[in-house]
Amino acid sequence: MREAVEGPVEGSVKETEQIRISSNLRDNEIYIRKQCENCADILVRPMRLGEDRKVDCLMVYIEVTVSNMMLDDSAIGKMINHFWKIPPEKIQEFLKNNSLGIADVQKLENMDEVFGAILSGNAVFFIDGYNKAMKISSKGYPDMGVSEAESEKVLRGSREGFSDSVKTNSALVRKRIRDTRMKVEEYQSGVRSNTTIQILYIEDLVHEELLEEVKNRLEEYKIDGILDSGMLEQLTEKPWYSPFPQYQVTERPDRTALELLNGKIALLCDNSPSALILPGAFSSFMESSEDWYHHFEMATFLRILRYLALLTATLLPGLYLAVIRFHTQILPTNLLLSFADAREGVPFSSVTELVLLELAFELIREAGVRVPGALGNAIGIVGGLIIGDAAVSANLVSPIVVMIVALTALGSMVIPDEEFAAAFRLLKYGFLILGGYLGIYGVVLGIYLTVSHLSGLLSFGIPYLVPFVEEQSVRQTGNGIFRIPFKARKYRPVYARKEQSIRLRKIIDRKERES
């Protein structure tokens, strides 16, 4: 490996991890200007400080991130305004001892650290005769700020949602878990993007093996850039071919905090307004963040409704085809005659008819998502009504098929997690083909294959069907279909360490309360 040199000079290699900062300010400036050539957004500002302006200094920063550097209320402004007044020989002493007491000032020793700090949105300060640079935090890159979560609407609970800034997101979680046992570890991913990734966990709750597995998967690949948490998810999930998500994606800080208290781990990716929670489990995807804010009776009813909606979204088209093509004897005569009368004159087979209408609805749904604002909602509603009515009037499809497709679509929309619902939207076509050509036996075969796949699926070593494979977990944690009363929720799920399995206990007397 190339040995470290005292200072950067012309002709140095581009890899900067071994290039130390020179005590000669001119050498540092030449190297920085060469690396930042044609980077109009990176400003290199020479200045002279101290009494009689005798000390040469250099400030390097990205223009937008440090636009307030000369204001008196900024850390950089306070430092520079102080340096105007002191003798030149004391400036280095102030830098070494951080005599101003600026909160986030860090000494940098090589150029790799310098460019990492600059490209993260901070200012870097150089002074002639000092072989270190000072990183001074600034307001950072512009972002949208904290806004309401768009994809996870709730009637009760916090309205705050994650933003594009990873620092803001971890602060929103810290706001809800004010405990030093909640750890936030930072990693840089992407050779060119240098994206900040944070791992959030509660130290005494999380299993060490799970934490090590997460860190190993993050370091398993080397990629040029990570631009969203979705890219991170696809790189680290195993097995990659399963349509079922192995991370729970949420835009809500309160949901993230709740899962951390269960012993799970959260991954935050810079420039992504969502958190990845792991391990993922079937029951977690079917829960809403407000389930624990409602009374257990209503929460249980809504959970049962979601599971029924899941079965409807997956099995209804296949069951319809299986009944009208192979098992008509199970239908009442009047209903069978009604189906036959509705299909009279339709030129397509029942399978083709249902597939075409399902694909047409998917087109309407995708168009509604891509068209911005209220116009997208109008396209989804009006498009569905017009196309469905026109297709029935033209005798291309039967009215019963329009109703089947509508119920299937409603069922998929009830599932709280969009990625989890997408997996069943794909499975729906498999059940449609199996039911259309093999009848009830095909539907049963599809159920068997799906359950077999879910039974063997692991998310970071945890069975995907937890808590249904853990009887105690369902009965005492309330994470199954039935939500137990909050006072009976005494135990954490299997994700947490056994010695920390007790979540809630009743305080008997005053002495115990004070202790």
Q: Which two tokens stand for residue 201?
A: 């966990």
Terminal C-alpha separation, the chain: 58
> Which one-letter amino acid corresponds to residue 139?
K
State how far the alpha carbon of 513 is from the alpha carbons of 242, 362, 505, 506, in Å. Answer: 49, 57, 11, 9
- pLDDT for the residue numbered 184: 93
Rounded CA separation 496/492 (Å): 7
Contacting residues for 135 by C-beta, under 8 A, at least 6 apart: 105, 106, 107, 108, 113, 114, 117, 122, 123, 124
Q: Which two tokens stand for residue 243?
A: 């349509």
Are 269 and 170 in contact, with CB atoms under 8 Å apart? no
**What is the phi/psi pair of residue 45, to 5°?**
-115, 105
Q: What is the pTM of this model?
A: 0.81
- pLDDT for the residue numbered 75: 59
- Sign, Cα dihedral of 295, 297, 300, 302: negative
Contacting residues for 47 by C-beta, under 8 A, at least 6 apart: 56, 57, 58, 59, 80
Rounded CA separation 54/418 (Å): 62
CB count within 10 Å of CB 8 equals: 24
Are 20 and 109 in contact, with CB atoms under 8 Å apart? yes
Tell me: pLDDT of 429 over 60: yes
Q: Where are the beta strands (DSSP E) in 298-386?
A: none
Note the pLDDT tens digit of each residue in 347-391.
Answer: 888 899 899 889 988 888 888 777 766 666 667 666 777 777 788
**pLDDT average, residue stretch 404-429:** 91
Counted residue by residue, the chain has a size of: 515
| Secondary structure element (H or E) that encloses residue 368, with its range | helix 350-370
- pLDDT for the residue numbered 15: 43
- pLDDT for the residue numbered 511: 61
Q: Which two tokens stand for residue 265?
A: 């781990």
Residues 20-39 as b or e (16 or more Cβ within 10 Å = b):
bbbbbbebbbbbbeebbeee
Alpha-helical runs (H) found in 237-294 = 253-261, 282-285
pLDDT-derived band at 507 (thresholds 50, 70, 90) equals: confident
- pLDDT for the residue numbered 338: 83
Q: Which two tokens stand for residue 428?
A: 């729906």
pLDDT-derived band at 321 (thresholds 50, 70, 90) equals: very high
> Which one-letter amino acid corresponds to residue 466?
V
Percent of the chain with pLDDT over 70: 83
- pLDDT for the residue numbered 247: 92
Tell me: pLDDT of 11 over 50: no
CB count within 10 Å of CB 45 equals: 12
- pLDDT for the residue numbered 5: 39
Rounded CA separation 118/45 (Å): 13
**pLDDT average, residue stretch 69-79:** 56
Rounded CA separation 21/27 (Å): 9
Strands 458-459 and 275-278: unpaired
Q: What integer best gives the mean pLDDT of the chain? A: 83
- pLDDT for the residue numbered 256: 94
**pLDDT average, residue stretch 321-328:** 90
- pLDDT for the residue numbered 4: 40
> Which one-letter amino acid corresponds to residue 41?
D
Please state the separation of Cα 27 from the chain's center in Å: 43
| Secondary structure element (H or E) that encloses residue 134, with its range | strand 133-136
Tell me: pLDDT of 312 over 70: yes
**pLDDT average, residue stretch 33-62:** 85
Alpha-helical runs (H) found in 12-158 = 25-35, 75-83, 88-97, 111-119
Are 57 and 67 in contact, with CB atoms under 8 Å apart? no
Note the pLDDT tens digit of each residue in 263-272.
Answer: 999 999 998 9
